[in-house]
A and B are shown apart, each in its own frame.
Chain A
């Protein structure tokens, strides 16, 4: 029985394939996937399913995949209940509070915050003892303070370039984000040997990478 792995499409695909290859997984079909969404490795040991991050958590929770490779931002926002076995150390970025130069965090009144991550935003401001109004935005979050929709945004940033280019400044750093290797609870019970064998190989690859740095 092959292990089903849901892999988040996009930015992290390439570094994940690199890690998996180094861990001995034949990723050739994954590299040449074209528009296919389900890809089997030649030895049939793994089946990859390409999906959007939040859907990876849905697949994991319903048990239709054994493993999910997804960012910790999405895991936190979606209150992940499955086992997070490994920090893959890729897709690193950080949550920040950003806004235009004239933003005053302690100004009187209730701040309006635009974000893709309402739960994380609310938790952050709660920890500061502040109540804010959160507006959920699906994309191009940077626009919110520029067009007057929100006072500030909570978003993830890798290098800060997009923020800078849009004249936004970072006012605070929140949690760090990276890509995680998550396993469905029941899958781990049933396929512990296969899953841990992959975890151990990946862990070695990650350690070696850290050492080289």
Chain B
């Protein structure tokens, strides 16, 4: 016997879930192509250096060696390969791109999580305008309406907010990083210990409240008015308030604000947004602005906004039903293949696989379909039970 079990953290895709996933993927792609997004497919394998931004050990990645003994990696993310692609292919900017593909992360063994995920995403490169962010969030709303009964909540944040507060308090880079890490992880015992050195500063009250500043926009804004914020932080709040008011014009769109959230990756530089549904504990959408990322691959930075879409969660939670296509069946003799070809150009038939007419009739009956055959004159004839009398 051959080995039959799958590698840890992998699974086969088939049946209803796979058709649903395919349907969602195709719909999203259709929408993006119609809006002149350029599709980019990058290889599953990349040089390890492409992902220098990440802590690969922490992430858990599959790595292998090529014939030159160079370290290759099964891509754990699709944004960095796209950045590499842009730096090396002289593609004209500004431009809107999209991708759909597999990414790989080794999750904790035996935790019930999967290591291979299909992810779609868009990258809008070269546009400094807020319209790039709005395009992403509009897409979240549209996908939410089409596939998740409009239940996706958008959570807004800003990659610079934490720095805008901490820069005023301390110049100690190490301390700032520690505070940010514990704030983002909401590890309160450690966070409170780190901020205790600012106990005598007027900002301390804000620092204490900070990890709780998330949720309903009007609530967060009301709370934040109680504190005097550094000018830069206030500017960010104003920007986020503005964006929220635009988003609230979208149908059924619930918008939340989180001032203590970690950006999706550390290369983000501006507004960040995530989308989630109540029934699941992972984000379906995640993105934001990262104006410096391309600088890691080429000399010049480019303004860019990107967003990842988790197709696995969409496939699991989408209420869209993809039904088996009801088609009538055509029974034919192998020597009629030429005629069959002509008929299929005009009519929609599924070809019967059965070797005799009676079996073909029974099979059609079983799937509630009509059965047709080609008569001697080359015409279509509906096969009814009477034919067998």
Contact = CB atoms under 8 A, between A and B. Distances in A.
Interface of A: 58, 61-63, 81, 83-87, 180, 183-190, 192, 196
Contact of A83 (B186, B256, B280, B281): B186
A160 B190 CA distance: 26
B195 to A, nearest CB: 15
Q: Which of B186, B215, B258, B282 has the most CB of A within 10 A?
A: B186
B189 A84 contact: yes
A85 B186 contact: yes
A25 to B, nearest CB: 20
9 pairs of A and B residues whose beta carbons are closest in the complex: A63-B281, A83-B186, A186-B281, A87-B189, A84-B187, A85-B188, A192-B215, A190-B278, A184-B281
Contacts of B111: 58, 61-62
B189 A180 contact: yes
Contact of A63 (B188, B214, B256, B280): B280
B278 A84 contact: no
B223 interface: no
Nearest to B112: A62
Interface string B187-221: 11110000000000000000000001011000000
Nearest to B188: A85
Residue among A85, A186, A189, A192 with the highest chain B CB neighbour number at 10 A: A189
A58 B109 CA distance: 11
B186 A189 contact: no
Given A83-B185, A84-B185, A189-B155, A196 B281 contact: no
Contact of A192 (B189, B214, B278, B280): B214
Contacts of B282: 63, 186
A84 B192 CA distance: 12
A183 B188 CA distance: 11
Contacts of B112: 58, 62
A121 to B, nearest CB: 18
Contact of B212 (A58, A63, A184, A196): A196
A190 B65 CA distance: 44
Interface of B: 111-112, 155, 185-190, 212, 214-215, 256, 258, 276, 278, 280-282
B181 to A, nearest CB: 12
Nearest to B191: A84
Contacts of B215: 189, 192
A83 B258 CA distance: 15
Contacts of B155: 189
Given A62-B111, A192-B212, 11 more contacts: A62-B281, A63-B280, A86-B188, A86-B189, A180-B189, A183-B186, A185-B186, A186-B276, A186-B282, A189-B256, A192-B215
Contacts of A187: 281
Given A62-B281, A186-B280, A84 B186 contact: yes
Nearest to B258: A189
- Most A-side CB within 10 Å, residue of B189, B215, B258, B280: B189
A134 to B, nearest CB: 17
A199 to B, nearest CB: 9
B186 A188 contact: yes
A63 B313 CA distance: 14
A63 B281 CA distance: 5
Greatest chain B CB density within 10 A among A62, A63, A186, A187 is at A186
A63 B256 CA distance: 20
Contacts of A186: 276, 280-282
Contacts of B281: 62-63, 184-187
27 contacts: A58-B111, A61-B111, A62-B112, A62-B281, A63-B281, A63-B282, A81-B185, A83-B185, A83-B187, A83-B188, A85-B188, A86-B188, A86-B189, A87-B188, A180-B189, A183-B186, A184-B281, A185-B186, A186-B280, A186-B281, A186-B282, A187-B281, A188-B186, A189-B155, A189-B276, A192-B212, A192-B215
Contacts of A185: 186, 281
A84 B258 CA distance: 17
B338 to A, nearest CB: 57
Nearest to A184: B281
Contacts of A189: 155, 214-215, 256, 258, 276
Contacts of A184: 281
A81 B190 CA distance: 14
A189 B156 CA distance: 12
Nearest to B192: A87
Nearest to B216: A192
Contacts of B256: 189
Contacts of B188: 83-87
A183 B186 CA distance: 9
Contacts of A84: 185-190
Nearest to A87: B189
A85 B189 CA distance: 7
Contacts of B187: 83-84
A71 to B, nearest CB: 13
A83 B312 CA distance: 25
A1 to B, nearest CB: 10
Nearest to B276: A186
A86 B112 CA distance: 27
A180 B185 CA distance: 14
Contacts of A196: 212
Contacts of B280: 63, 186
